[in-house]
Amino acid sequence: MTRQYFGTDGIRGTVGQPPITPDFVLRLAHAVGRVLKRTDARPTVLIGKDTRISGYMLESALESGFNSAGVDVVLLGPLPTPGVAYLTRAQRASLGVVISASHNAFEDNGIKFFSAQGTKLPDNWESDVEAVLATDPIWVDSANLGRSRRLDDAAGRYIEFCKSTFANNLTLKGLRIVVDAAHGAAYQIAPKVFHELGAEVVSIGCAPDGLNINKGVGATHPEALVEAVKTHRADMGVALDGDADRLQLVDAQGRLYNGDELLYLMVDDRLRRQESVPGVVGTLMTNMAVEVALKARGVAFVRAKVGDRYVLEELEKHQWLLGGEGSGHLLALDKHSTGDGLISALQVLQTVVRSGQSLSELLREVSLFPQTLINVRLKPGQDWKASTRLESETRAVETELGDSGRVLIRASGTEPLVRVMVEARDSVQAKTCAQRIAQTLIDKADD
């Protein structure tokens, strides 16, 4: 069955426009409740949210929809997405629900779900929900309605969980850390985690007003963190996105480190402690320098499609623990069942504290390859995959690059564009090769 509402990470859109309307969200919760009751006579669902003003409205709609299907609800209040995943597992709940549009602006919102094990749900579960959505609701009678309550210490429980992933014999004492929570779900939690582990904390992006989530701050706008680290002469800066599953780090010199580099550091810490790291999963966009550095240390590397759910699928397939994306979605499956910005930050900080070295020193063997990305707009009906010129030029570039670069050509999922990316040790070569490949598509579009 083709899914009508679910995308790669739940259901997302502009508030007030289908499907992010209170009537649809109520029906969605009712449908999910009916699916849950196929295997659980009295399900319990946890609901968390970020700081968007629309979260109150959608929370009420979800609560009503679940109750109307005979499902009990536990309201968590503002909590990072990975915090909801953790508590769903810890509380032995049937399902976790997050109201968030992650790194999007406040005008958007979304609904995503976690299984009882704190993992993302499979496509066939989403298809089952959509099939029920297409039928008339079946309201339970008054005696069988679900009940609702609040878990008042949800934030405190999650804080303790995050801290438990940091080595007991280590401390962050002596470090001044700027924490940027993007005015999002971790605005209270993130500063407390680092403070309680001993750091001196300077907070920015921790004053949500319902309308300012991700606005000029957070992992998608790290320039605010860079400036704050310099201003406060901090040792480190930590930036999360609106729902705190994405991470960016900044060092004392104001140098920004992306998810590819942070993934390598998580591996490096384990290798230094002589732990086994048989393999790592990145994505099609992971910088080749990381792949080369990992293989040089005997660590296998596999690329998944772009998207943290695909990284997770590959990790489970190979039974590996570490993976991630350049955007800062990082997975350490022996620490948490899903990507967690706070826990990932703590794993990298462990490396810094244990080694006594800075991020730049730890990464001196990893010099990211320059990447050139060119977007080519297609004309209507243009079959770019059938271009023999494109195929020939791509092969010529790959031959020229050899083992010192790579080519990635992929269609945009949202626009009539083809993205041409070339990565090479030399920036001029990367740019020239990308232009050669892109020109074959441009010429075709101009025909």
Confidence at residue 194, expressed as pLDDT on a 0 to 100 scale: 98
Domain that holds residue 223: 157-253
Give whole-number Cα distances, 432 to 176, 260, 333, 423, 428, in Å.
Answer: 43, 24, 40, 11, 6
* Number of domains forming the structure of the chain: 4
Confidence at residue 359, expressed as pLDDT on a 0 to 100 scale: 95
Cα–Cα nearest to 255, from 110, 368, 154, 99:
368
Phi, psi of 73 (to 5 degrees): -125, 135
Amino acid letter, 352 = V
Q: Which of 308, 329, 362 marks a domain boundary?
A: 362
Can you give the CATH number for the domain in which 92 is found?
Answer: 3.40.120.10
CA pair distance 107, 53, nearest whole angstrom: 9
- Tell me which of 102, 203, 327, 337 is the catalytic residue: 102
Q: Are 242 and 262 in a shared domain? A: no
CA pair distance 58, 25, nearest whole angstrom: 7
Q: Which of 152, 183, 200 marks a domain boundary?
A: 152
Give whole-number Cα distances, 50 to 104, 150, 414, in Å.
Answer: 12, 16, 25
Residue 405 domain-assigned (yes or no): yes
Q: Are 183 and 290 in a shared domain? A: no
Pair of tokens at residue 239: 């930036």
Residue 118 domain-assigned (yes or no): yes
CA pair distance 57, 45, nearest whole angstrom: 18
Q: Are 133 and 198 in a shared domain? A: no
Residue 242 domain-assigned (yes or no): yes
Q: Are 230 and 285 in a shared domain? A: no
Helices (H) and strands (E) in the chain, counts: 14, 18
- What angle do the packed helices 81-90 and 341-355 form, to 10 degrees? 100
Q: Are 16 and 142 in a shared domain? A: yes
| Sequence-ordered list of residues with C-beta below 8 angstroms from that of 46, at least 6 positions apart, any chain | 73, 74, 76, 84, 87, 88, 91, 93, 95, 96, 97, 151
Phi, psi of 242 (to 5 degrees): -55, -35
Q: Are 148 and 19 in a shared domain? A: yes
What per-residue string of b and e applies to 147-162 under the rule 16 or more CB within 10 Å gives b?
ebeebeebbebbbebb
Confidence at residue 403, expressed as pLDDT on a 0 to 100 scale: 87
Q: Which of 208, 228, 253 marks a domain boundary?
A: 253
Pair of tokens at residue 289: 């320098």
Q: Are 147 and 30 in a shared domain? A: yes
| Sequence-ordered list of residues with C-beta below 8 angstroms from that of 349, at least 6 positions apart, any chain | 166, 172, 175, 236
Cis peptide leading into 19, omega within 30 of 0?
yes
Give whole-number Cα distances, 202 to 190, 210, 237, in Å.
Answer: 11, 22, 9
Amino acid letter, 200 = E
**CB contact at 8 A, 36 and 44:** no
Residue 4 domain-assigned (yes or no): no
Residue 410 domain-assigned (yes or no): yes
Confidence at residue 443, expressed as pLDDT on a 0 to 100 scale: 77
Helical segments of 44-117, H only: 54-68, 81-90
Cα–Cα nearest to 257, from 167, 185, 339, 360:
360
Q: Are 147 and 114 in a shared domain? A: yes
Residue 35 domain-assigned (yes or no): yes
Pair of tokens at residue 169: 């014999």
What per-residue string of b and e applies to 312-338 under the rule 16 or more CB within 10 Å gives b?
bbbbeeeebbbbbbbbbbbbbbebbbb
Phi, psi of 365 (to 5 degrees): -85, -5
Cα–Cα nearest to 244, from 191, 295, 315, 196:
191
| Sequence-ordered list of residues with C-beta below 8 angstroms from that of 175, at least 6 positions apart, any chain | 198, 199, 200, 235, 236, 349, 353
Confidence at residue 413, expressed as pLDDT on a 0 to 100 scale: 66
CA pair distance 244, 241, nearest whole angstrom: 5
Can you give the CATH number for the domain in which 376 is found?
Answer: 3.30.310.50
Lookup result for tokens 């320059």: 370
For this structure, is 102 an active site residue? yes
Phi, psi of 260 (to 5 degrees): -60, -45
pTM: 0.91
Q: Are 231 and 291 in a shared domain? A: no
Residue 6 domain-assigned (yes or no): no
pLDDT in tens, the chain (447 residues): 568 999 878 999 999 999 999 999 999 999 999 999 999 999 999 999 999 999 999 999 999 999 999 999 999 999 999 999 999 999 999 999 999 999 999 999 999 999 999 998 988 999 999 999 999 999 999 999 999 999 999 999 999 999 999 999 999 999 999 999 999 999 999 999 999 999 999 999 999 999 999 999 999 999 999 999 999 999 999 999 999 999 999 999 999 999 999 999 999 999 999 999 999 999 999 999 999 999 999 999 999 998 888 999 999 999 999 999 999 999 999 999 999 999 999 999 999 999 999 999 999 989 999 999 999 998 888 889 989 999 999 999 999 999 889 999 988 766 788 999 999 999 999 999 999 999 999 876 555
Q: Are 23 and 76 in a shared domain? A: yes
Confidence at residue 1, expressed as pLDDT on a 0 to 100 scale: 52
| E strand spans, 33-165 | 44-49, 72-78, 95-99, 108-114, 148-150
Amino acid letter, 209 = D
Amino acid letter, 431 = K
Residue 196 domain-assigned (yes or no): yes
Q: Are 341 and 380 in a shared domain? A: no
Q: Are 111 and 184 in a shared domain? A: no
